[in-house]
Structure 1
Amino acid sequence: MAVTLQGLATAVPPTVLIQNEVRDVFAAQPGLSRLAQRIIQTSFDVSAIETRYTTLSELSNTPRTAEDGPPVFFDLATGELLLPGTKARNEIYAEQATALYVEAGRAAIDACPAIDPADVTHVVTVSCTGFYAPGPDFMIARDLGLDPGVQRYHLGFMGCYAAMPALRLAKQLCEADPAAVVLVVSVELCTLHLRSSNDPDTIVASSLFADGAGAGIVTARPPAPGERAFVLDGFESRTTPVGEGDMAWKIGDHGFEMVLSNSVPALIDEYITGALEPLFAAEAPLAAALEAGTAGEAVAHWAIHPGGRSILDKVESRLALGESQLVPSRAVLRDFGNMSSATVLFVLREILRSDAAASGDRVAAMAFGPGLTVESALMTVSG
């Protein structure tokens, strides 16, 4: 029984951040040390990001009106980044994330000609950038008019890799019930937690993270004729023996606090081959190619979570991938930044829409997060 990922859809909020303009705002904040100013300049300039999206309309260059009230995150008149508390940030998350969950979920259903909202049996939502209850799984079911008995699950606070276990859970649900239709939706509003700081980890996070949503339908129902999809062949999860303190996500008094050390690319470089071994082990040709250092020849397409430019560089070098094989990941990083768990869904959609992806092509997907955790999947292009 083939379980497929269909109807891949993405959504972003309307406010665009131009990377060099954001850099200049962060560099001009009061209280920065000279070292912090140098780190800001370097982090933003080498990020390989040109644009990102944010749910915070205050970060645009549009002057506020009296009806808007006082600024909460950014005072355009003074150019100063403000420091709202976690409660204020999370209240915006509850409002703005709900809209993106519903938008992306509706788009995924609409993209599947043979599936209606009434067909959805399960909803799996993903996020690490906010909390509320009733949660996004409830809001999707309510606003999309899903069956009152739809089963709902939320994977929270797992980090950038979380869309992968969500897809794996969806596949398992479909294997247990061949009639299942699982709507998976990931929404991350990372920019709610950006702030001025002298801390290098916080500066790097401010140069990378963005807002976005990704969604798809996982089901054993065959795609409609002519519809492109991914057959979900298998998943694996591995944690590295070191690096637990190098990537973390904690709740602070002024938003969530990211730990993202400069050791992460080196850790991925050291352990990525070992993390792929269990995924490729079930298929002898793939296992042999990985051992021989020719994985890039055995698998046509690579959906690598673009956690940052240096991470993509390390993956490309260690696995001896061709430059073209990371074009989708680098394009998503350039145009959207790092949207945490939603990002790999953007990369998969980029691959599926590409003329380079033919029916029967194999795809390896990987995402990284706290632990250090490496989640991977093998897929096959269908249609």
Structure 2
Amino acid sequence: MELLILAVCLIPLVYAFICTCKWVLQWRDQGCYMLAYECYKAPESRKLNTESSAKIVFRNKNLGLEEYRFLLKTIVSSGLGEETYAPPNVIEGREQHPTLADAHLEINEVIFDTLDKLFARTGVSPSDIDILVVNVSLFSPMPSVTACIVNRYKMREDIKAFNLSGMGCSASLVAIDLVRHLFKTHKEAFAVVVSTESMGPHWYMGKEKSMILSNCLFRSGGCSMLFTNNRALKHRAILRLKCLVRTHLGSNDEAYECCKQVEDDRGYRGFRLTKSLTKAAAQAFTMNLRELVPKILPLGELLRHFTVSNRQTSKIKSTELEAVGSSLNLKAGVDHFCIHPGGRAVIDGVGKGLRLSEYDLEPARMALHRFGNTSAGGLWYVLGYMEAKKRLKKGDRILMVSFGAGFKANNCLWEVMKDLDDANVWKDCIDSYPPKTLVNPFMEKYNWINDEYLSFVRLELDA
């Protein structure tokens, strides 16, 4: 009888012990480590300076005086420098009639160049890849882009391939979140994420100002990344994902409509950006921070923030981010801020809302200046700048902030696993950054566009 009672008592303890061991083993396999990343740098022949941009503007015969002036004003004040890159068909003057071949050429250049370098750098064979996730928002061919990669590198038949489209500038973190969840059921796996965008076939040829903006800001670029959950490779990792939070405001009509691919009244297809964008970004980011902050800040800072927040009496409207940021010290849990270089207004807004210094915003500003808005790949040019400037030390924490159509705010925290100092895609120009001024050198040449009494367009551009 005593043995029976003892056995009955021990069964729950043994069961609890087994469950604990199982949980620990599962937890050990849920790490997400980045082993390497490779950003794309186009050939010199694809550079798009202000002079070239102006020529492209004047090729569009659908534009009137006001549209010309609006475009040129936007170009010279966008924060983009003189060395960004444009798609091949735009450089060659074929933006009005792009072909399917143009789309494939643009995408394949980015994907295969970065993947070739990624496999060479890490020594990981394409046949070792268990998971492949590709995000290209505006190009979804058949067979898919993932199928094209599998065919090119002759990857395994059992590879788990996912093709994401329509996710916007925040798609890179969506893809990484997918990998993070897949790692829970795939042990000691390798995963590749490819983030880029199709620009050339979607160059807007109409005259609506809200749609012209995309031509001024978006440029060619992309990045391929290699991840693993194999703890035996932890010593090779450069980053470890600490947490990732996704916020989606698609149920809000105003937020849903603020970034959208549409056709104008004349049938020209483009990407429309409305004035509601900044409001949607502030709302989504604030909601995201409410979930993210408890995961990244120490207890003392959380208590201080909670106390100060309860004392605030101001109403939270479209400037909600500023209200939250005024009492929040993210630097208590974050060392570096990797902000999506979507445009000068995006960077300024996040900086103001979170009370960040110019040092904090420098990587995003420089990535925008050197490479432009490269959509989902933009975050990794910002990270590359930090690394090239030797800012990233072992144990540092990096907050990635991204926004995307839908409307979405996807943010995550990384831990730096070793001192990083690779000049990467910035190798040829990092010594010249930051420049003494970000003022466009052609501002003086094109100052006539600010003449309110202008009655004609001065065409002083060479053919």
TM superposition score category, shorter chain reference: 0.7 to 0.9
- Tell me by how many angstroms 1:296 deviates: 3.5
Q: 1:190 to 1:301 in 2, by over 3 A?
A: same
Q: Deviations over 1:2-31 (max 9, x none)?
A: 311221101143211113430343156434
- Tell me by how many angstroms 1:236 deviates: 1.1
Q: Distance in 1 between matches of 2:244 and 2:235?
A: 26
Q: Deviations over 1:242-294 (max 9, x none)?
A: 42211112478977520112332344345523322212223452872677321
1:92 to 88, 96, 102: 102
CA contact (8 A) 1:189 1:210 kept: no
2:52 matched to 1:21? yes
2:274 matched to 1:245? no
Q: Distance in 1 between matches of 2:162 and 2:42?
A: 24
- The sequence identity of aligned pairs, in percent, is 19
**More helix per residue:** 2
Q: Distance in 2 between matches of 1:215 and 1:360?
A: 24
Which one is further off, 345-354 or 333-342?
345-354
* Number of the residue aligned with 1:59: 91
CA contact (8 A) 1:223 1:229 kept: no
* Number of the residue aligned with 2:189: 180
- Tell me by how many angstroms 1:49 deviates: 0.3
* Number of the residue aligned with 2:3: none
Query: What one-letter code is carried by the residue in structure 2 that aligns with 1:49?
Result: L
Which one is further off, 117-126 or 239-248?
239-248
2:285 to 260, 266, 272: 272
Q: Distance in 1 between matches of 2:229 and 2:121?
A: 16
Q: Distance in 2 between matches of 1:306 and 1:228?
A: 25
- Tell me by how many angstroms 1:99 deviates: 3.5
Query: What one-letter code is carried by the residue in structure 2 that aligns with 1:342?
Result: G
CA contact (8 A) 1:295 1:320 kept: no
- Tell me by how many angstroms 1:158 deviates: 1.3
2:160 matched to 1:160? no
* Number of the residue aligned with 2:353: 318
* Equivalent runs, 1:234-383 vs 2, <5 Å: 234-240=243-249, 241=252, 242-250=254-262, 256-269=269-282, 271-285=284-298, 288=302, 292-383=327-418
Q: Distance in 1 between matches of 2:171 and 2:234?
A: 31
Q: Distance in 2 between matches of 1:157 and 1:89?
A: 20
Q: Distance in 2 between matches of 1:223 and 1:18?
A: 46
Equivalences, count: 360
Which one is further off, 301-310 or 243-252?
243-252
- Tell me by how many angstroms 1:378 deviates: 1.1
- Tell me by how many angstroms 1:314 deviates: 0.5
Q: Distance in 1 between matches of 2:348 and 2:232?
A: 35
**Structure 1: which 5+ residue stretches go unaligned?**
61-70, 74-82
Q: Distance in 2 between matches of 1:249 and 1:237?
A: 22
* Number of the residue aligned with 1:72: 94
CA contact (8 A) 1:102 1:139 kept: no
Query: What one-letter code is carried by the residue in structure 1 that aligns with 2:190?
Result: V
Q: Distance in 1 between matches of 2:267 and 2:195?
A: 24
C-alpha RMSD over aligned residues: 2.5
Query: What one-letter code is carried by the residue in structure 1 that aligns with 2:116?
Result: R
Q: Distance in 2 between matches of 1:132 and 1:59?
A: 23
Which one is further off, 352-361 or 150-159?
352-361
2:138 matched to 1:129? yes
Q: Deviations over 1:311-336 (max 9, x none)?
A: 10000010011211122211111111
- Secondary structure of 1:47's match? coil
Q: Distance in 1 between matches of 2:167 and 2:262?
A: 11
- Tell me by how many angstroms 1:121 deviates: 0.8
* Number of the residue aligned with 1:229: 238
CA contact (8 A) 1:191 1:209 kept: no
**Structure 2: which 5+ residue stretches go unaligned?**
1-27, 306-323, 419-463
Query: What one-letter code is carried by the residue in structure 2 that aligns with 1:141?
Result: V
CA contact (8 A) 2:263 2:269 kept: yes
Query: What one-letter code is carried by the residue in structure 1 that aligns with 2:94?
Result: V
Q: 1:106 to 1:344 in 2, by over 3 A?
A: same
Q: Distance in 2 between matches of 1:265 and 1:365?
A: 18
Q: Distance in 1 between matches of 2:350 and 2:367?
A: 16
CA contact (8 A) 1:295 1:321 kept: no
CA contact (8 A) 2:206 2:268 kept: no
Which one is further off, 330-339 or 13-22?
13-22
Q: Distance in 1 between matches of 2:295 and 2:233?
A: 29
* Number of the residue aligned with 2:434: none
**More strand per residue:** 1
CA contact (8 A) 1:266 1:314 kept: no
Q: 1:346 to 1:254 in 2, by over 3 A?
A: farther
Q: Distance in 1 between matches of 2:129 and 2:289?
A: 32
CA contact (8 A) 1:228 1:352 kept: no
